[in-house]
Structure 1
């Protein structure tokens, strides 16, 4: 994990890769729980037997939005700013789902600090977050993530 003392030091890292998270295996239990939480019970996600015979992937796949929802916890593993008193998700500029994530695959985030600018409530950061799939050339997801940072 890369550590910054304060937001001024963090700002000096604009344009740099901040690091990557640990690999996390996507389980069928996670996918099923996400399906229950969102009401998206499409068979491609929750029916391993049907997916094995009818899906072009040969297995169930994670919801794209499940992969996206992991961004926050994975980015938290890539860097820290010691002086922060608060971080708030502010939104997304752009999200693309490039490759489905099969259940049983491992994913991790790679983060690049694209911008950090003043805002009335703190510093507004833009991160390019790439959710990688272990062993795959193409990523699962690439997102421009906005976060509001406040420090002392």
Structure 2
């Protein structure tokens, strides 16, 4: 049996099973300020507490929606048994590489106020073999806000699992940077 088939069987066994919830994570003004700087987006709704207190319908600063979305990678690491920074228990980093492929049906539902806490839960809904060296994993995922009925966001998140075997090149994702 090839490595891709072993990983596919393991991933298919997760279909329909709840992932998470993750631990709660603090939403801080420092994180929003850093995100605003790194994305060249100094929107005062997110980075200026005084302005937001006076002018926003939320009474203060709120998280960038795309910051909240970006947290799903860290949440996925945790749901897969890893730690912050991407370490995974029991996963051979050489055997597979996971990359973001995109989102379907992404909706930002509830604003996330600074000082709140968020966490994620999800469910694998599909694993497709889309090439000789890759699987596409589809996860329905929500990011919850502590104490709120409605989630911050809901998405169908897609990722690729690349399985570099000696007889297969990673077509479209070569290490030398060519397509």
Shared topology, TM-score over 0.5? Answer: yes
**Alpha-carbon deviation of 1:43?**
1.2
2:103 equivalent to 1:102: no
Shift of 1:13: 2.1
Task: Tell me the distance in 2 between the aligned counterparts of 1:76 and 1:145.
Answer: 14
Output the CA distance in 1 between the equivalents of 2:99 and 2:64. 24
Is the partner of 1:77 in helix, strand or coil? helix
Greater shift, 96-105 or 82-91, is seen at 82-91
1:88 correspondence with 2:89: no
Q: Which residue of 2 aligns with 1:16?
A: 17
Distance (Å, rounded) in 1 between the aligned partners of 2:55 and 2:100: 38
Q: Which secondary structure state, in structure 2, belongs to the residue aligned with residue 87 of structure 1?
A: strand
1:94 offset after TM fit, Å?
2.0
CA distance in 1, matches of 2:46, 2:20: 30
User: What's the counterpart of residue 173 of structure 2?
Assistant: none
CA distance in 1, matches of 2:145, 2:16: 23
Alignment partners' CA distance in 1, 2:156 and 2:24:
20
Q: Structure 1 residue aligned with 2:156, among 129, 141, 144? A: 144
**Alignment-derived partner of residue 128 in structure 1:** 140
Can you list the C-alpha shifts for 1:8-43, whole angstroms capped at 9, x where unaligned?
A: 132022122122211110110100111111122111
For 1:110-121, list aligned pairs within 5 A. Answer: 110-120=121-131, 121=133
Aligned to 2:75: 74
SS of 2:32's partner is helix
Alignment of 1:19-98 (within 5 A): 19-80=20-81, 82=91, 84-98=95-109
Deviation string for 1:70-94 (max 9, x for gaps)?
A: 1101111012573552111111112
SS at match of 2:52: helix
Where relative contact order (Cα < 8 A, 6+ residues apart) is larger, the structure is 1
Kept in 2, the 8 Å contact 1:19–1:111? The answer is yes
Instruction: Flag the structure with higher strand content.
Output: 1
Where do 5+ consecutive residues of structure 1 fail to align? none
Structure 1 contact 95–144 (Cα < 8 Å) conserved = yes
